[in-house]
Amino acid sequence: MAVLVGFWELLVRGGVVEFDFLPAPSGIAAALASLAASGDLLPPLLHTLRSTIVGWVIGACAGVALGVWLGLSQRAWRYSMASIEVMRAIPPISLVPVALLVFGFSLRMELTLIVYVGAWTVLVNTIDGVRSVRPELLDVGRMLRMSRLRVVRSLILPAALPSVIVGLRLALSLSLVLAVVAQMIGNPAGLGNALIRAQQALQPEQMFAYVFTIGALGVSLNGALRYASTRAFPALAAGPTDVT
Amino acid sequence: MATVELPGAHDTAGAGDVRPPGARRSQPRARWASAFPPLRGLLPLGAALALWQLAGREDSPYFPPPSRWAQGLADLWERGLLWPAAVQTLSTFAVSLAAATVLGTLLGLVVGASRTVDRALSPTLEFARAMPPAAVVPIAALLIGYETTMKVAVVTFAAIWSVLLNTRTGVRSLDPVLLDTARCLRLNRFDRSRKCVLPALLPSIFLGVRVAAPVALVITLLVEIVTRIDGIGALIATAQRNYLSGQVYGLILVAGLFSFVVNGVVSVAQGYAFRNRPGR
């Protein structure tokens, strides 16, 4: 990575690349430092982080709860799955304008979008996970005369966990994407908005600094979740981590 | 509404869901059926839409009833805007997906074949992959300018990762016997890649493309919405700015239709590509 960055620096310094707006990495680092020093970096960063996480948590809870119900009840599944498939096909990005239309430029709009996309992703993965629970497991629960809640808590959720976690991870990165998009064209706050303003002010160094921050945020959120899930459920750590 | 584009093969789907989950993969026919949920599952959606149509106010600025969606689409069609936009979106999508497949496979081969390259590039790849594509749009806009090339660049950038990573994993898990066989037969480099390596890698690459296809479509729409360069996304954004809510909802329907078709094509193609492979 260091080599690549050095190469980039050389290319730009040496005038080999002639894009008008490609700053050198050193310029980006300087911009990042000055943004951090002037306090223009932290508030948008915190805003984006907060709305991503809040939206993701709400969406995940809703998704898991609904997913378990739909996955368990044969009737609910039969009478709703096709609707879910159709609704799911609608790309969440295309709902950004609707949210803008309904909620205007506000935090509500941003959060609604994040919750929506998070809930769908988690919902679909939870349904998959719950439906692929082996029927024998349910028989065990019946034999031990477990209550319904107990069956869900100690048999179904653990069995569906790998699939749920995949859903949670996908949902987290989508939440960040939606947060940034919502901030770019909707709610005027956070990193997405800062990025757009830097672009419009023709400040490529600052813009790259914000992009870098967003990327770093994505990497650390993903890493934190991966760490937390392997920490909490060591048995899952053996699974493939490469392919999302 | 969307009943039309559901593939016809799932009249048999009713049989698929009484079976216990474990038995689902027993026959090709059952597998096919279980891929599509039963049609009566559309009831809640249909009911909700009907209720919306009947109870909703005709002139609601935020939640226009479905009849106004159709009207909005018809308006766009008559003004000759809908068709070119759809072509634009789909061609951007197709070109980018093709580019992502080719580039991703090549890069994946390089990264997978050499430990050194892998170690040198991994951090960069991880970082670039975690980057929300939306954040790349302003960079691409500044560097390339507001044109179709920029759209293709951003979408390719977003779609390339799953192809790349899957190819890399595929290369790593190539059977050494296969390579030895090629060496025994004294195949030259070209023949070796064409006859041994590529066929063995095809499932991995395909898995990557399968993940990449929906991503590419979503990002195409995203770029169009954010930059308003022609396409369905740009139409949606413009309609929203002009408070033409009927058009917005109608266009979202079109976007959903695209995504439905793309998903369908991908899963059918996958069934075809893996038809003589055991297991999944």
Two tokens at A11?
């290319």
Q: Pick the closest to residue A243 from B58, B76, B206, B83 (CA basis).
A: B206
| Least confident window among A6-10, A148-152, B199-203, B243-247 | A6-10
pLDDT of residue B1: 36
A95 vs B252: CB contact, 8 Å cut-off? Answer: yes
Query: Which residue range forms the structural domain that includes residue B185?
Result: 77-273
Per-residue pLDDT band at B6 (split at 50, 70, 90): very low
**B270 in Cβ contact with B203 (< 8 Å):** no
B134 near A CB under 8 A: yes
Among residues A84, A244, A97, the alpha carbon closest in space to that of A173 is found at A244
Question: A-contacting residues of B 177-236, CB under 8 Å?
Answer: 207, 211, 214, 217-219, 221-222, 225-226, 233, 236
In this prediction, residue A201 has a pLDDT band, given cuts at 50, 70 and 90, of: confident
Are residues B44 and A80, on separate chains, in Cβ contact within 8 Å?
A: yes
Whether residue B95 contacts residue B152, with contact meaning beta carbons closer than 8 Å, is answered with yes
Per-residue model confidence (pLDDT) at position B9: 38
pTM of the model: 0.76
Residue A26: the pLDDT is 76
- Residue A16: which pLDDT band, with cuts at 50, 70 and 90? low
Q: Do B252 and A181 touch (CB under 8 A)?
A: no
The phi and psi torsions of B68 (rounded to 5 degrees) equal: -75, -20
Q: What CATH architecture does domain A45-235 belong to?
A: Orthogonal Bundle (1.10)
Q: Where are the domains of chain A?
A: 45-235
Instruction: Kindly report the nearest CA distance between residue A214 and chain B, in angstroms.
Output: 7
Residue B99: per-residue pLDDT: 94
Alpha-carbon distance A146 to nearest alpha carbon in chain B (angstroms): 21
pLDDT score at B256: 87
How do residues A103-122 score in pLDDT, each as one tens digit?
888 888 889 889 998 898 89
Residue of A nearest to B212 (CA): A244
Q: Evaluate if residue A15 carries a pLDDT over 70.
A: no
- Check if the beta carbon of residue A130 is closer than 8 Å to that of residue A72: yes
Cα–Cα distance for residue pair A16/A127, rounded to 1 Å = 53
pLDDT at residue B111, rounded to an integer: 84
- What gap in Å lies between CA A59 and CA A112, rounded to an integer? 9
Share of chain A above pLDDT 70, in %: 87
Among partner residues A78, A97, A184, which is closest to B248 by beta-carbon distance?
A97
Instruction: Say if residues A42 and A190 touch (Cβ distance below 8 Å).
Output: no
Nearest to A89 among B141, B142, B263 (CB): B263
| Chain A residue numbers touching B249 (CB-CB < 8 A) | 98
Report the Cα B59 to chain-centroid distance in Å: 35
Residue B94's pLDDT is 92
Q: What is the pLDDT of residues B209-230, one digit of tens each?
A: 888 888 898 889 888 888 888 8
Given a cut of 90, whether residue B102 has pLDDT beyond it is yes
A244 token code pair:
């999302």
* pLDDT, position B97: 93
Is there a domain that residue B117 lies in? yes
pLDDT-derived band of residue A235, with 50, 70 and 90 as boundaries?
Answer: low
Q: Which pLDDT tens digit goes with each residue over B27-80?
A: 454 554 555 556 777 777 888 888 888 877 777 777 888 888 888 888 888 888
Among B149, B151, B148, B166, CA closest to B101: B166
CB contact under 8 A, B256 and A184: no
Q: What is the CATH number of the domain that holds B193?
A: 1.10.3720.10
pLDDT tens digits along A141-183: 888 888 888 888 888 888 888 888 888 988 998 899 888 888 8
Is-contact A101 B241, C-beta < 8 A?
Answer: no
Q: Where does the pLDDT of residue A240 fall: very low under 50, low under 70, confident under 90, or very high at 90 and above?
A: very low
Whether residue B17 lies within 8 A of chain A, CB to CB, comes out as yes
Task: Report the alpha-carbon distance of residue B271 to residue B273 in Å, rounded.
Answer: 6
CA-nearest residue to A79 within chain B is B41
CA–CA dist B165, A175 (Å, integer): 22
State the pLDDT at residue A1: 59
Give the model confidence (pLDDT) of A34-75 as tens digits: 888 887 888 888 988 999 999 999 999 999 999 888 888 878
Which pLDDT does position A198 carry in this prediction?
84
What is the residue-averaged pLDDT of chain B? Answer: 77
User: Is B145 an interface residue toward A (CB < 8 Å)?
Assistant: no
**pLDDT the model gives residue A10:** 63
> Do the chains contact at A101 and B248, CB–CB below 8 Å?
yes
- Burial class of residue B188, CB neighbours in 10 A (0-12, 13-18, 19+): exposed
Is the pLDDT assigned to residue B112 strictly greater than 70? yes
Whether A1 sits inside 8 A of B128 (CB atoms) is: no
With beta carbons less than 8 A apart as the criterion, state whether B76 and B235 touch.
yes
Mean pLDDT of the residues in chain A? 81
Residues of A in contact with B233 (CB under 8 A): 93-94
ipTM of this model? 0.72
Indicate the residue type of B109: L
Q: How many CB atoms lie within 10 A of CB B168?
A: 26
State the smallest CA–CA distance between residue A106 and chain B in angstroms. Answer: 15
B221 to chain A: which residues are within 8 Å by CB? 91, 93-94
Number of structural domains in chain B: 1
* B211 with A244: Cβ contact below 8 A: yes
Q: Is the dihedral of CA A138, A140, A141, A143 positive or negative?
A: positive
pLDDT value, residue B8: 36
A222 neighbourhood in chain B, CB within 8 Å: 130
Residues 6+ apart with CB under 8 A from B52: B63, B65, B66
Pair of tokens at residue A131: 């439906």
- Confidence grade of residue A2 (pLDDT, cut at 50, 70, 90): low
The residue ranges of DSSP E strands in chain A, in sequence order, are none
Record the tokens describing residue A76, joined without a space.
């609910």
Percent of chain B with pLDDT over 70: 83
Give the range among A127-136, B143-152, B233-242, B271-280 with minimum mean pLDDT: B271-280
Query: A98 near B256, Cβ under 8 Å?
Result: no
| Nearest to B3, CA basis, from B65, B54, B45 | B45
* pLDDT for residue A20 is more than 70: no
Looking up tokens 């070209």 gives B190
User: pLDDT grade, residue B22 (50/70/90)?
Assistant: very low
> Is residue B111 within 8 Å of residue B125, measured between CB atoms?
yes
Q: Do A81 and B2 touch (CB under 8 A)?
A: no
pLDDT above 60 (res A197): yes
At A74 the pLDDT is: 79
Average pLDDT over residues A111-138: 87
pLDDT-derived band at A236 (thresholds 50, 70, 90) equals low
**CB–CB contact A83 B131 (8 Å):** no
Beta-carbon contacts below 8 Å between A and B: 189
Angle at CA of residue A244, ends B38 and A92, nearest 5°: 60
pLDDT > 90? residue A205: no
Provide the Cα torsion B150, A178, B165, B233; round to 10°. Answer: -40
Chain A residue with CA closest to B134: the answer is: A181
Q: Would you call B249 an interface residue with chain A, using a CB distance cutoff of 8 Å? A: yes
Location of structure tokens 């004294």: B186
